Structure 1
Amino acid sequence: MPSLFRFLFICAVIAGVIYGTMLALVTFVNPVERDVTIRIPSERINKPQ
């Protein structure tokens, strides 16, 4: 097998593994919803003039 075909085959296998991993993460991992509270100091909102 010429080196170009071997290189393209290895790139395709790596891309397939990455795609399969992403598909598995989307299928099997469920995100947990939660409330997020961010405190902003009043000095940043009401700047003195």
Structure 2
Amino acid sequence: MPSLIRLLVVLGLIGGVVYGTLWAFANLVEPHTREMSVNVPADRFAK
């Protein structure tokens, strides 16, 4: 039984680290905005 508890604790810690990392990337990292232009060929409008 102690090995089951140890496994659950380790999996919980790994899950917590992954969740915390994803939360940090989602909330603390700001994306760089930049202007973008795409050339669309004229034959794409004819369809």
Q: With structure 1 as the length reference, what TM-score do the two structures score?
A: 0.62
Q: What is the distance in 1 between the residues matched to 2:13 and 2:34?
A: 37
In structure 2, runs of 5+ residues without a counterpart are none
Q: With structure 2 as the length reference, what TM-score do the two structures score?
A: 0.63
Q: How many aligned residue pairs are there?
A: 46
1:24 aligns with 2:29: no
**Percent identical residues:** 41
Q: CA RMSD, aligned part only?
A: 1.8
